Structures are given as C-alpha cells and as structure tokens.
Structure 1
Amino acid sequence: MSTTQTSPAWQSTNSGWTLNGQLEPGADVRPERRARSLSGLPPRPTGETNRWMRLLTNPWTWISVVLFQLYAVTLYLVWRQLSADQVFPEGVIPGLDWATLKQCAGYAAPTAAVWALVFIAFDRFRPMRPLFWLLAFGWGACMSIWISLNVNSWAASLLNVTASPGDPAAQARPAVFVAPFVEEAAKTTFLFLLAVLVRYRIVSALQSVCLAGLAAVGFAFTENIVYYARAMVYGSVTIGTGDVEEAVQQLVFLRGVITSFGHPLFTMLTGVGLVIGLRARSKLVRILAPLTGFCLSAFGHMAFNGMSSISQMSMTRLVIQFVIVIAIIAFFLFRQIFKERKRIATRLGDYVRMGRLDSRDVVNHSVLWRRAWILIVAARRGWRTFQATRQRIRAVTELAYLRDAMVRGIVDEAGHEREKELLGQLAVLRGTALTEATGLRLDIPWRRLAFWRRRRA
C-alpha cells in the first residue's frame, strides 16, 4: 500500500504562524524557548486563536498597566509638591494652581507634538509598537520629572544653595553639576529597560533615537509647563515685574522654539551608544558604548546649562545656533536612513542569492517611498489585503535584521528557527499581499465622488 507524503505547510493563525497549525509532536519546547530567550528572539507562537487570551497572556499588557498606574501616581506627587506654597524670608510664593497649569500646557503642547512627530517619522524601516512610543513619552513626562525634581532638590540642599524665591535646584551649581547627570539617567532608564526586555526589536540607531527622543520630549513637555507656570505665578505676586503675559511669551519662544532641541539632542547620544552596544559582538564594546553615550549626553547637557547660566547671548546668536543644531540633527538622521536602506538591501540580497526571495523584494523593501506606496494601495483594496501587505513588509524587514544579527554573531543557532518561520510566513502571504510597487495604481472612484458633489450641490 502506498502512502502519500505531504510537505510541511505553514498555516496562519491570529497569533502568528505555526507549522501545520501546531508544534512538532514530541518536541520539548523548553530548550528551544531558552535558546531563543538568550538570543533575545520572540518565542514560537502557541497557536492560541482567542484574541482576549493572547492579550491577557502577553506580558507587556501587565507591564503597561503597572507603568501607566505608576505614571499617574508620580504625576500626582509632582502636582502635590508644586501646588504647595513656598515660604521664603522675602515672602510667600503661591503654589501652581490648576488653571495656570492648563494654560501653560497649551503653550508647551505644540513643541512636544512637533518633536514627537519628527522622531516617529524617522522610525519607519522597522517601527516600534505605538505602545512603546507612548510608554517612552510617559516615562519622560512623569517618572523622569518626579525623579529629577526630588534628586535635584536633595542635591541642591547638599550643595548649601542659599534659599531664594524660586526652586533652589534651579540655581547655577546644581543646574550645571547635578541636573545633567540626574536628568539624563532618569530619561534613559526606560530605554535601558527596553534593551533588556526586547533587545531583539531594537535593531537600528533610528529606533533607539526615536525612543530616546520621545522620552526627552516628554520630559521637556512637563518641564516647560512647570517653568511657564512658575514664571506666571511669580510675576503675578511680585511688584515691578512688568507685563507678565509678555514675559511668559518670551520664555515660551526661548524654551519652546530656540532651545527646544536641548533635551532630545542630549538623550539621542545615549540612544546611539546603546544601539552600538546592542549590535556589537565584543563584550567590551557592549559595556563601553552605552556608557560613552551617556557621558557625552551628560557633559553636553552640562555645557549647555553652564553657558545658559553664565552668559547672556543675544537672540540672533541663539537663532543661529538653533539652525545649526537642527541641521546637524537632520543630517545625522537622514544619513542613518540611507545606512539602514543599504543594510536591508545587503541582507535581503543574501536570500536572493540563496533562492529564497525574489530580486524585486530587495528594491521594494529597502526604499521607504516604495513601501509606503504599496501600503497605501493595499489599504484601498480592502482590510485583508492591507493586513497581509503590512505583515509581509514587517516580516521581510525582520528577516533582514535577523540575517544581519546572525552575520554579526549576535544571534546563535536559534536564529535559524526564527528564519524558517519568517520565510514560511512570506510564502503564505505572497498570494494575498501586494509585493511590487512599480505599476501599482491607486484606484480612486472619481465618478462616485463627482456624483456625490453634484448631489450635494
């Protein structure tokens, strides 16, 4: 009697891609799970189809719940501390009231929104989950502010700063010698936490810079609110301060526009050092690269605070420095885009030579505008096509970075199993997803739109 042998088939489930819909019989998954964990690779999908069960069993669900509650508690503690009246020998300065904070939040929001969109826009090749973006921003806006406020005030008291109207931690010596190290450490703690938990996902300088920049933008957002509110309250209770609203608007222009690059620029240096350490094989580089990045960010922050404290530069010089720094940041980020494009093309070319991918996959997945156009057209052709196209683009990108990690020696033999899963996923998605950008046309129902316009008229 003859038997028909069937080849292994990759099947799609709501939780991922499995071989014949289940794990291999008799296979002990514990050694493989440990090997994947040591390499930072995600575990093999379990085949669970219930979306709510996947959500409840995902560890990041509970990590997010804990962190958001922690953010709320620390923000409330900061509010309690800043709303208390400050008593000085010269008099009493009222604490910050809720109406003033809301008004100042409106002043600080445009700066935060612009910088956040800039950093998210550059994280395009293998973007992090929006949850990580939100957690990074919340960490900087809540946790980092609470840590810096308490540690800076404690360090200022140790430095015997003479009490004066205003926060003693904002005086020259703590601002130059203490605040840079405390604030940079507080902002980048979340980045190092992600490097420990999901280091496999942080694969490029663009991702690390995006997360570091969002944490810095969140920190600057809350800090600007505090500075604007303090200036408004202090001017309203002090005689001879002049037009309070005009003074606050000048402060908004200075902190929200001219020097708004400060916190993102310094924290970016730590992010670059961290990703260099994560992508390096040498243990010495893994230790020294993040440490060097942190030291550069802290010393740069120290130099910036020092110049701001001891020198009074004209507005023209500040604008010139602002333009120069923004140009440097833009040059660095665009240079990283071309480097990541070359890296993806090189690693996907390995699979083309092995016969696993088509040569057009290299062109379509290493150029950002081609990827974006494929997604736009796929969205017009239905949810199923859009989902398949999005999953395929993410799988191809992950495959390229996985290959890069295996070539560098960062991922061991466990990467081959993940490689097989991704190649199987691409084989299944090829029939549904859009794979070629050349010749795609965006089908827009112009006749239907014209009919709707005539009917409306």
Structure 2
Amino acid sequence: MSSGGPSQPNPYAPPPAGQAQPPQPPYPAPQQQYSAQQYAQSNYTPQRFAPQPVYASVLAQPTPYSPPAPVAPSPAQGLPPLPAARRGGRIAVYVLFGLLGLLLLGLVGYFGLFLGPGASIVGLVLALLPLSVVFFVVWMIDRWEPEPKTFVFFAIAWGAIAAVGLTLLADIALTVLFGQRGEFAGAVIQAPIVEEFFKGLGVLLVFLVARRTFDGPVDGVVYGALVGAGFAFTENIQYFAISLIEGGGEQLTVTFILRGVMSPFAHAMFTSLTGLAIGLAARRHASAGAAVGYGLVGMLGAMLLHGLWNGSSFVNFFLLYFVLQVPLFVGFIFGIIALRREEARLTRARLGEYAAAGWFTPEEVTMLATPAGRKVGLAWAARLRGDRRPLMREFIKDATTLAAVRQRAVTGRDPLAPAEEHALLVRTRAARAALLAY
C-alpha cells in the first residue's frame, strides 16, 4: 500500500497479459553516445574489451618494433689476405723498373737514330709474331702454378731492354779496349758470353727479389725463357730493320724465315738453362751465394749452346739445324714435360699431407693435383648454378699455391710460410663452401 500521490510504475513488473512491450534496460539510458575510439581511450574500459580498428590486411597492422634485415655478407668477408711482399723487395722492384725506363729511352734513341723510324716500326711489327708464339708456349708451361704478373712483365722487359742495352754498351767498351773483332770471334765467342751473362743476370735478380715465389726448376725455366724471348724480340727488330734497309723485302723475308719461323725459341731455350740451374738451387733451399754458383753453371751451358748455334752459320746451317738443333729442341720439350710431371707429383704429395689431416678428401686431391682431375672439376663447376668455373679456378690456384707454400715450409726457407699457409687454408675452405652452396 502507498499513501499520497500516484503510484510509480515498476520497471521490473511483467507486462499485462496481451500487451507486448519492448524490454527496458535495467539502467537508465545514457544521455550521450560514445564512439568506438572514445571507448578505446576510456580509462574505465579494459584494453582487451575496447573496439579494435579494422585494417586492410594483417600485414597492414603497425608493429611496435621492426628489426632491421640482416646485411648480406660479402663473398670475401672474413678471408684473410695473403702476406704482402716485404718493403725491401718492393723498393728493389721500383729501382729496377726505373733502370729499365732509362735504358728504354736509350734504345729508342738508338733505333730512331741509326735505323730510322720507318724500318724500326716494320721490324717491331714483325718481331711481335715470334714473341707471341714463344709467350704462348711459356704461358702453357706456367699454367700449373702461374708466376706473379709483375715478375713475368719484369722478365720480358729485362730481356728486351736491359739485356740488349747492356750488351750494346759492353760491345762498345770491348771495341774501344781491344779494337774491332773478327766476325767469327764476335758471333761465336763474344756474343754468347756477353748476351747470356746479362740475360742470366735478369733471372738471378728475379730469384733474389722474389725468392718466395721462385719455387723450383719450372719457375726457373719460365723466367729464363721469358728473358730470352724479350731479348730475341728487340734483337729481331734490329735484324729485320737492317735487312729491310740493306736488301729490301726479299732479304727481309729470308731473315724473318730464319729467325721468326725456324728459330723463335733459340734465345728462350738458351737462357732457360740458366733458369733451370737457379730453380734447382731454389728447390734445394740454397743460399743466395749458392744460387749464384748454380746460376754460373747454368750460364756456362747457355753460352756453349748459344755458341754452337751461332757457329752453325759458318759451317752448314741447315745440316746442323736438322741434325743437331732440332733434336736439342725436342729434348728441351721432353725435359719441360718431365719437369711439369714432377711439379704435379710434388703438388699431389703435399696436398695429400693436408688430406691426411682432414683438410681435403682424397678425391679433391686428385681433382686439384692432376691435369685430368682439373679438367673434370672445371666441367663439373660449369654445370652448377651460375657457372662456377671462376670459383673452381680460384680453388685450384689457391690449392696449388698451398702445396708450394707447404714445400717452402718443409725446407724452412720461408719465414712467412705459416701465415700464408693459414690464409690459404681458410680461402680453400671458403671456395669449397661457395662451390657447394645452393
């Protein structure tokens, strides 16, 4: 019961029978409408219940932290560099190249003054042909363990510039002291002694300056042949130019056949004997003094062979050429082949020691240390994704150098061998991983 005034409706009372009323909330309706963003920012609404914004995709949602992508490593990252040449050796090389530059100016003046620019240019062009042939053959010999390009260039330059220039100066000095010599004495005695001495001096300088890369007889033959090829190049310019001036095209053709076709390897073969002797000294860990002694013995053989070659022109050139010179040249070729096989055997033996320690597999040693194995390895690398023959060549080169470093370490003649050995082992491991990477 209630007293006074009208009674208030009961919001919880059920509706009368037969009358439908919409359900009423148990709380008063709000006087202000809030947006979803306002709900989300409300201090009274838990974050997990607040309305979330809608994004176009999952990837469009912002993230509180986005870590940077890792930087791709360089292919050579972490590879230790090979030990650099000693400062004293670099200075010696600069001094020698400076000397070659001065002598070159003198030779250019000599050819321009006494032979004329026209004939000298013709001789230069023709002399390039036999030089190219000899250089290609020497490059084939040197492919097993290539020599540094700096010293290859120096050997050719020494023969073409220094040996020729010093020979001309010696000829002038001997003429002043002893007068004009006879043709036979000049060609058979003086020329072989003076020329082979100055050519051999170039090979000895390479040995003294670059002892760490002068490993054995093959290296000596390569440097000796390059010095001889350079000497023959400049000498051929002179002979071809004189033939053109004195006898025209006919005499020039005969001279080119005799010197450029029949005997392009003569000087290379002579001086390679000196290089062979110095290379034997290097293989036996001889001192600088002992290497000079070996070199003098090699020079003596080069002088005798050179004198025999020049003397054949006073007897019967063509008879001695086919009876004596051709067999000597064939023997020289077989000697080079034998030296290459010995070099390959030594490479295989030294890499086999690393294989026994777990650095290489026996199959890899066969691939790296035999001509047939290298051929198969390069063919396999060509079929890999991206043609990985350059990687395989680097692998072969570093492994071959590693074998040579091991040889120097065994003989104890290279104090930098341990550091270079470590660097090459890391590089060969990296090259193998790159070859096998997908």
Q: TM-score over 0.5 for the alignment?
A: yes
**Structure 1 residue 376, shift from structure 2 partner:** 6.3
Seen in structure 2, the aligned counterparts of structure 1 residues 267 and 376 have a Cα distance that, compared at 3 Å, is farther
- Corresponding residue for 2:3? none
Answering whether residue 294 of structure 2 is matched by residue 289 of structure 1, we say: yes
| CA 1:64–1:279: 2 relative to 1, 3 Å | closer
Look up the equivalent residue of 2:105 and give its one-letter code: Y
Cα offset, 1:132, TM superposition? 2.5
1:329 equivalent in alignment to 2:332? yes
Contact 1:378 1:434 in 2 (8 A): no
Aligned residue for 1:349? 352
- SS of the residue corresponding to residue 212 of structure 2 reads coil
Which of residues 416, 419, 424 in structure 1 aligns to 2:418?
416
Counterpart residue number, 2:104: 75
CA contact (8 A) 2:312 2:320 kept: no
Task: Report the secondary structure of 2:253's partner residue.
Answer: helix
1:282–1:104 Cα change, 3 Å: closer
Equivalent of residue 186 in structure 1, options 175, 189, 198: 198
Alignment partner, residue 283 of structure 2: 279
TM-fit CA distance, 1:375: 4.3
User: Could you tell me which residue of structure 1 aligns to residue 7 of structure 2?
Assistant: none
CA 1:305–1:158 in structure 2 vs 1: closer, same or farther (change >3 Å)? Answer: farther
Q: Residue 13 of structure 1: CA displacement?
A: 4.9
Alignment of 1:171-182 (within 5 A): 171-182=183-194
Aligned residues: 363
The corresponding residue for 1:231 is 243
Query: For 1:411 and 1:16, how far apart are their aligned partners in 2?
Result: 22
> What is the match of residue 21 of structure 2?
none
Counterpart pick for 2:138 among 108, 119, 123: 119
Closer/same/farther in 2, CA of residues 75 and 372 from structure 1, 3 Å limit:
farther
Larger Rg: 2
The SS at the match of 2:115 is coil
| 8 A contact 2:103–2:161 mirrored in 1 | yes
Counterpart residue number, 2:83:
43
1:368 equivalent to 2:371? Answer yes
CA 1:207–1:383 in structure 2 vs 1: closer, same or farther (change >3 Å)? farther
Residue 428 of structure 1: how far off its partner (Å): 2.4
Which whole-Å CA distance do the structure 1 matches of 2:84 and 2:117 have between them? 49
Question: C-alpha displacement at 1:222, in angstroms?
Answer: 0.8
For residues 81-112 of structure 1, the C-alpha deviation after alignment (integer angstroms, 9 at most, x for no partner) is: 3444xxxxxxxxxx311111111223222111
What is the aligned partner in structure 2 of residue 17 from structure 1?
A: 80
- Where does structure 2 lack aligned partners over 5 or more consecutive residues? 1-73
- Asked if 1:359 corresponds to 2:388, the answer is no
1:99 aligns to what SS in structure 2? helix
Q: Is the 8 A contact 2:131 2:264 kept in 1?
A: no
Match of 2:404 among 401, 405, 416: 401
1: CA distance, partners of 2:419 / 2:146: 23
Check conservation: 2:348, 2:369, Cα contact below 8 A: yes
Kindly provide the CA deviation profile for residues 176-221 of structure 1, in whole angstroms up to 9, marking residues without a partner as x: 3332222122223332222122211121322221121111111101
Task: Judge conservation of contact 1:203–1:279 (CA < 8 Å) in 2.
Answer: yes
Shift of 1:274: 0.6
User: Take 1:130 and 1:382, find their aligned partners in 2: how far apart are those partners?
Assistant: 31
| Alpha-carbon separation, structure 2, partners of 1:286 and 1:191 | 11
The corresponding residue for 2:253 is 249
| Identical amino acids, percent of aligned pairs | 25
User: Contact conserved, 2:212 with 2:414, CA < 8 A, in 1?
Assistant: no
How many angstroms apart in 1 are the aligned matches of 2:184 and 2:172? 13
Q: 2:222 aligns with which of 210, 226, 230?
A: 210
Segments of structure 1 that go 5 or more residues without pairing to the other structure are 1-10, 19-41, 46-56, 85-94, 163-167, 236-243, 436-457
1:298-332 CA distances to partner (integer Å, 9 max, x unpaired)? 23223333343x32x15354244443232112101
Give the direction of change, closer, same or farther, for the CA distance of 1:178–1:338 in structure 2 (3 Å limit).
same
Secondary structure of 1:410's counterpart equals: coil
Q: 1:222 to 1:59 in 2, by over 3 A?
A: same
Q: Which moved more, 1:245-254 or 1:375-384?
A: 375-384
| TM-score between the two structures when normalised by the length of structure 2 | 0.73
**One-letter identity of the residue aligned with 1:431:** A
User: d(CA) in 2 for partners of 1:434 and 1:323?
Assistant: 49
Deviation at 1:383, TM superposition (A): 8.2
